[in-house]
Amino acid sequence: MVCRLKCLPLLITNDFSMKGFLKAIYLRLRLILQPFFAFLWSLLRVVNIFSSLLIVGVVIYGVGFQMEAQMMRVASLFYVAYLLFFGELTVSLLKSFIATHKTKQWYIIFLFYLLLLYVAIVWFVLPDSVVFAYPFLAFAHQVYVVFGAVIFISIIKLSVVVTQSLTSRLNPTWIFVGSFALLIMLGAGLLFLPRATTHPIRFIDALFTSVSAVCVTGLTTVDVSSTFTLMGKSVIALLIQLGGIGIMTFTSFFGLFFIGKHLTQNKLLIKDLIDPEKGIGQIFKTLWYIIFVTFTVELIGAYFIFVSIGGHTWNDVGFAVFHSISAFCNAGFSTVSGGLFNEALQANYQLHVIIAFLIVIGGLGFPIIFNLGRWLLHIVRNLFRRLFGKEKRYLHIPHLLTSNTWIVLTVTSVLLIGGSVVFYVTEYNNLLANLSSSGKIITAFFMSVTPRTAGFNTFDMGNMHPMTILWMIVLMWIGASPMSTGGGVKTTTIGIAFLNVWHTLRGRNHIELRKRRISETTVNRAFIIIFVSLVVLAIGVGCLAWFEPNTSLQALLFEAVSAFSTVGLSLNLTPLLSDESHVVLIVLMFVGRVGLISILSCLVKPKQHLNYQYPSESIPIN
């Protein structure tokens, strides 16, 4: 350092301008301060990680066991954490300024820093006489402002830590499965807190509800409306939201946003967790689109639900938001006794249609929504150019609709139309007998939608015709589409299997669809999923039959398929089952949500690629 300072007069003699002198001073200060700020930032970062964990623990304890007034006893802890977070952000900005390295989201972080600086000045610099003299200063002096800021920063901090911990040495499948398991245990702990329930419940019931919410199933062993308080229902809604689009989607989004999108190693792993088909440069954009589409659709759905029930109170707002989240995430949870079968909602067909469309949109999958959006945008642009532009002739439409979109839309349409017709015919003189003509059609359509992993019902499931039960089992087993909020073996799996059978009968050794050839890996994976799903269901039904010998096999099969496909429909049987059967359903829900391929990838070590092949041999099949 002494040598560097000795060089300063030499620079001054070479450049007598004030600009050169100041530049030299700046360069020397940067060399001196950069290591200091880097060390201070690292130290504050480690301290704040532990502070974040402590804050989250205190919040959980305070919300679950104490009243808000008693939380003021630990207010000093929040003040200290606020100053530590503010100090780390200050040092981080100074370090970034000295290093002349700024990320693309630097200006947003700087605006957030100015907001924290404003609150810090109001709390720790200005006297109370000045603060309470101005309303805009008094508002920032509320204790809940500091509490909210500290909790928000703690969540962001932990998300960044999770994202930075992703390395190429970790198996993405283990991270994906582990994130769901961790979220389930955390949710069970929150639902087991005294203030989450109106009366004490067993831990197995809290665990079952948490698994059902995270796995967006809807099966419950207790009545949600009467068992859980506002806090408990809020926790369930949060678990549904996180489980519906994936906990790694949220943590990856916040992590990449605040640590920068230049970390290629983390983005490679997140790409495998979110969408393996996307390029590495599109991961953050994909995460943003998923978050944006989810909240936009849920907000629009909540508005229409609020209007459909004639809402005018805050309870109606809560009802609309909860059911919009539950419908879009294909969860099937409800905050009223009996769900949509409740007397006040059973004949509200406008609400049924809104819920059905939310279920369909959530079950299509985010890649399908994005692909349809690009296709429709291209159609609108072409139409605009033909009407108002110079090009009056027909513009060519490129191959925008992928084979995946075509299969999903085709299979979904067939299942929705076929399910509506079957339900209308089989239940015409049974469950639909006392309904109006429009009521029959809407109910039939709704009950062809809800078995596709949604779980809502508008009538007593125990009175269905046996043919209807069989068809609903088929619909539940097929489920929704890949990378959606629903479960099941997926529509693409059934579509690929059908196409493979059709092409095999025609003597073709590969599948061709819309001038595209489907890879053999896709075909093999489809049949693996079908085979393994049948094996898992057979084992699950066998275990349920062992623990429930006095229950009909049809009812047990219905419950097992409903749990495995994360549907949530029940023949009024789940609350009556034993704890051992509840554990079986928990395992089925978890396996069905994280996916059979993910479970198998965790259990089976992939074999390295071999550079040789053995001679082929045909084996008789039929």
In-domain check, residue 73 = yes
Retrieve residue 476's tokens: 């539940």
Collect all residues with Cβ–Cβ distance below 8 Å to 362 and sequence separation of at least 6: 244, 297, 327, 328, 329, 330, 480, 484, 485, 486
In-domain check, residue 113 = yes
- DSSP H or E segment with residue 512: strand 511-513
In-domain check, residue 61 = yes
Q: Helix or strand or coil: residue 511?
A: strand
DSSP 335: S
**What span, in angstroms and rounded, lies between the C-alpha atoms of 583 and 563?**
11
Of the candidates 294, 216, 260, 219, which has an alpha carbon nearest to the alpha carbon of residue 488? 216
For residue 605, the model assigns a pLDDT of 65
Task: Find the DSSP H helices in 141-277.
Answer: 143-164, 172-191, 203-214, 224-227, 230-245, 247-259, 264-274
For residue 144, the model assigns a pLDDT of 76
Look up the domain containing 83 and give its range: 1-164
For residue 111, the model assigns a pLDDT of 80
**What span, in angstroms and rounded, lies between the C-alpha atoms of 25 and 11?**
10
10 Å Cβ neighbour count for 296?
Answer: 10
CA 184 to chain CA mean position, Å:
13
In-domain check, residue 45 = yes
For residue 71, the model assigns a pLDDT of 61
Retrieve residue 338's tokens: 């009996």
In-domain check, residue 262 = no
Q: Give the position of tokens 């027909």.
A: 394
DSSP 197: B
For residue 27, the model assigns a pLDDT of 67
**What span, in angstroms and rounded, lies between the C-alpha atoms of 215 and 244?**
7
**What span, in angstroms and rounded, lies between the C-alpha atoms of 542 and 546?**
6
DSSP 109: H
- DSSP H or E segment with residue 517: strand 516-518
10 Å Cβ neighbour count for 10?
Answer: 10
**What are the phi and psi torsion angles at 84 (to 5°)?**
-65, -45
In-domain check, residue 120 = yes
Q: Give the position of tokens 């749990």.
A: 563
**What span, in angstroms and rounded, lies between the C-alpha atoms of 325 and 319?**
10
Of the candidates 144, 117, 119, 165, which has an alpha carbon nearest to the alpha carbon of residue 59? 144
Q: Residue 516's beta-bridge partner residues? A: 513
**What span, in angstroms and rounded, lies between the C-alpha atoms of 482 and 496?**
13
For residue 3, the model assigns a pLDDT of 47
pLDDT averaged per 10 residues in sequence order, the chain, 622 residues? 46 54 68 73 82 79 62 75 84 71 64 82 81 77 79 77 58 70 84 85 90 87 88 88 68 49 47 50 68 88 91 87 90 84 84 91 84 83 72 59 86 91 89 86 90 81 86 90 82 89 81 80 86 91 92 90 88 87 92 76 64 74 66
**pTM (2 d.p.):** 0.76
Total domains present in the chain: 1
Calculate the alpha carbon distances from 272 to 172, 174, 278, 363, 525 in Å.
7, 12, 9, 21, 17
For residue 246, the model assigns a pLDDT of 64
3-state secondary structure 351-380: HHHHHHHHHHHHHHCHHHHHHHHHHHHHHH
Retrieve residue 614's tokens: 């053995």
Spatial contact of 564 and 536, defined as CB atoms under 8 Å apart:
yes
